Amino acid sequence: MVRITEGLIRKRAEHNEGEIFSLEELTLHQQDIERIEFLDKHCRKLKILYLQSNLISRIENLNRLKELEYLNLALNNIEVIENLEGCESLTKLDLTVNFIGDLTSVENLQNLENLRDLYLIGNPCADYEGYREFVIATLPQLKVELHFKLQCIVS
């Protein structure tokens, strides 16, 4: 299991001269990471976080990232949308191709008033009849301009 450590973050923060406390963007994709940890304590200025293509099964330890605007958790093992209530600046959340089957977990995003884009394609919940309508009714803040756009974002 690869862990998110200070050393790994510093290595990925070379563009920021290794400084992690002021880091605004972090790419940790394709690292075989199983748990989200450490970031909430030392990387609170993150605005963009790429964690796609890992082995993450649970969204956790991100609540203190108040400035996080974009979170990519595509291609992981996530089953439930949870623990993002504190990410009040989140505008874009990519959960493409995970194992999210409980559509009601979308309700955990209701307090994220800035959320505009949610990607759920490739999850079991996207196969439910009426799931698009449920997501739109549950998250009216989502950006839905055209039927085509809706299919791209929510389907």
Q: Which residue has the tokens 């997501």?
A: 135
Domain positions in the chain are 6-154
Beta bridge partners of 48: 25, 70
Which residues neighbour 44 within 8 Å (Cβ) at sequence distance 6 or greater?
21, 64, 65, 66, 67
Q: What is the pLDDT of residue 69?
A: 99
pLDDT in tens, 98-128: 999 999 999 999 999 999 999 999 999 999 9
Q: What percent of the chain has pLDDT above 70? A: 92
pLDDT the model gives residue 14: 84
pLDDT tens profile 72-93: 999 999 999 999 999 999 999 9
Q: What is the 3-state secondary structure (H, E, C) of the chain?
A: CECCCHHHHHHHCHHHCCCCCCCCEEECCCCCECCCCCHHHHCCCCCEEECCCCCCCCCCCCCCCCCCCEEECCCCCCCCCCCCCCCCCCCEEECCCCCCCCHHHHHHHCCCCCCCEEECCCCHHHHCCCHHHHHHHHCCCCCCCCHHHHHHHHC
The pTM (predicted TM-score) of the whole model is 0.92
As to burial, measured by CB atoms within 10 angstroms (0-12 exposed, 13-18 middle, 19+ buried), residue 101 is middle
The pLDDT value recorded for residue 148 is: 39
Domain 6-154 has CATH 3.80.10.10: yes
Q: What's CA 93's distance to the chain center, in Å? A: 5
Mean pLDDT (the chain) is: 92
pLDDT of residue 15: 85
